[in-house]
Amino acid sequence: MSIRQEYEVALEPLLSVPVERELPLGQRLWQQGWLRKSLILILLAVLWEAAARYQNNDLLLPSFLQTGAALYDGLISGELLGKVWISLVVLLKGYLLGIVLAFALTTLAVSSQFGRDLLSTLTSMFNPLPAIALLPLALLWFGLGQNSLIFVLVHSVLWALALNMYAGFLGVSETLRMAGRNYGLKGIRFVLFILIPAALPSILAGLKIGWAFAWRTLIAAELVFGATSGKGGLGWYIFQNRNELYTDKVFAGLAVVILIGLLVENLVFDTLERVTVKRWGMQR
């Protein structure tokens, strides 16, 4: 039996091989999310243009370029922007009110058994109810005005957000809760300083879902009953132009709906996520 020799190695500083190096340009570019998404959008636009030219019927399917021209005209004349502004103002009012109510309801739910039961009963009752189904009732109660729209918007935001927020609160770790209580945090301060930041990933997800629900509810509501107090929003614009068979303008209106959705998703929510949950390592 032979025993292997022991040995020691004196280590010199490692200089011959670079400790870190950059990825190739192509890989670095491919890691940019906006670049990948823009590529997808361009691809879709090309497909659309090709399909429209093959179809060759402006009334049914205007091409991408025609829609672009209609969109450009609408924006230049200020007509579209005015409609967007009307829609967004109503939307924001309903959205913010929905957030405030969801916040109040979930705070109640984390602080008492009654609040918990109330939240779970109300969400299971109203969450499956499409907001637009409440519109006739809202019109009856609040008349042909902004208030009916805000009512259905609140309904569309409130339950989805409250559900997500509450699930987020439940997911906050026991250690973090005890740490908060240890420092003497109680009641609303506990919710503000511990629960809300700790549940932020779920809350942001809820805000996103709420935003999408609110946006589609608003456009649908405007399509159903059109103008509020003489001034219609984006849905009304689409509806009116369909009646007059300006299909390219209908598409332009739809494009604006989509663009605003993309813009809010990619600018507002992505930025919010980047400076909060992603920066804090709570979400990849």
Nearest to 49 by CA among 59, 63, 70, 62: 63
Report the residue number, 141 or 183, with the smaller CB distance to other proteins: 183
The residues in 167-186 that bind other proteins, with binding defined as CB under 8 A, are: 173, 175-176, 178-185
What six digits make up the tokens of 80? Answer: 């579209």
Please name the residue ranges forming H helices in the chain: 25-30, 33-55, 64-77, 79-111, 113-126, 135-142, 146-170, 174-182, 187-190, 196-198, 200-225, 234-243, 247-263, 270-273
Q: Which residues contact 119 (CB under 8 A, 6 or more apart)?
A: 105, 106, 108, 109, 162, 166
Report the residue number, 169 or 215, with the smaller CB distance to other proteins: 169
Report the residue number, 23 or 275, with the smaller CB distance to other proteins: 275
Report the residue number, 49 or 270, with the smaller CB distance to other proteins: 270
CB 184 to other proteins: min, Å: 5
Is residue 274 involved in binding other proteins (CB under 8 A)? no
CB 276 to other proteins: min, Å: 7
Report the residue number, 39 or 176, with the smaller CB distance to other proteins: 176
Is residue 264 involved in binding other proteins (CB under 8 A)? no
What six digits make up the tokens of 215? Answer: 């946006």
The residues in 189-208 that bind other proteins, with binding defined as CB under 8 A, are: 189, 193-194, 197-198, 200
Is residue 231 involved in binding other proteins (CB under 8 A)? no
Nearest 5 degrees, angle CA 257-CA 260-CA 263? 150
Q: How far apart are CA 252 and CA 261, in angstroms?
A: 14
CB 6 to other proteins: min, Å: 23
The binding site for other proteins (CB under 8 A) comprises 173, 175-176, 178-185, 189, 193-194, 197-198, 200, 276, 279-282
